[in-house]
């Protein structure tokens, strides 16, 4: 006994028609165009988050650096003492040798009632870097600069004025800029005075 397969009819042939192939190519082309357009947009702006992250890291580092400095009534004197420091730094000192939060000003005296903004790095210079605290290396990649400004600021119930005895709280403002974008990152923090107590 033998089993014969039915003859193939012309309607049951396998494969794709020319119209089906063309439709497949068109659909795949449209899908690929959409995906590639999205990837192109993502790639074009993918550096922005990295730049923002670097700017934020630099700002956090500088705010921490200023906040870590001592902020006493006298420059390391015993208690009680007569308050002498307001804003500014001793002539001839620079950032690595600052002894107080209030030294982060351009004034070369410690009795200034105002604090001019200090700039680290060279503004609008693509090769400029922000020097690290040692002054030997760099805190930032090239093309970044930062400003630090201090202002007397009342904080909660603590009054603060631009006088030696009344400067109890300082608002620290760090602004970081770069040649890679027009955006800036500004970060603020507070620092309050502590012992020794004034006489």
Paired strand residues for 146: 120, 176
Cα 150 to the center of its chain, rounded Å: 18
pLDDT of residue 131: 87
CA distance 185 to 129: 16
What is the pLDDT, as a whole number, of residue 163?
A: 80
Beta strand segments in the chain, E:
118-120, 144-152, 169-178, 181-192
For 196, what's the count of Cα atoms within 13 Å in the CB-facing half-sphere? 13
d(CA 59, CA 145): 10
At residue 173, the pLDDT reads 95
Q: Is the peptide bond between 57 and the residue preceding it cis, with omega within 30 degrees of 0?
A: no
45-77: per-residue pLDDT in tens?
Answer: 666 788 899 999 999 999 999 999 888 776 655
Q: Is the pTM of this model over 0.85?
A: no
> What are the average pLDDT values for consecutive 10-residue runs of the chain, which has 199 residues?
62 78 95 90 73 93 92 65 73 80 81 83 90 81 93 86 83 94 93 71
């Amino acid at each position: 006994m033998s089993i014969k397969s039915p003859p193939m009819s012309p309607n049951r042939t396998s494969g794709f028609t020319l119209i089906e192939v063309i439709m497949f190519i068109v659909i795949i082309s449209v899908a690929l165009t959409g995906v590639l357009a999205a990837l192109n947009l993502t790639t074009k702006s993918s550096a922005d988050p990295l730049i923002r992250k670097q700017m934020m890291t630099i700002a956090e580092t500088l705010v921490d650096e200023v906040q870590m400095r001592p902020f006493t009534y006298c420059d390391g004197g015993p208690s009680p003492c007569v308050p002498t420091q307001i804003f500014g730094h001793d002539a001839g000192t620079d950032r690595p040798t600052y002894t107080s939060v209030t030294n982060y000003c351009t004034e070369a005296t410690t009795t200034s009632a105002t604090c001019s903004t200090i700039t680290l790095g060279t503004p609008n210079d693509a090769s400029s870097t922000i020097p690290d605290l040692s002054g030997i290396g760099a805190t930032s990649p090239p093309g970044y600069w930062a400003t630090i400004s201090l202002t007397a600021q009342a904080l909660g119930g603590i009054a603060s004025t631009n006088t030696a005895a009344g400067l109890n709280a300082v608002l620290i403002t760090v602004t970081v800029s770069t040649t890679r974008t027009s955006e800036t990152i500004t970060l603020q923090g507070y620092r309050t005075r502590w012992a020794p107590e004034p006489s």
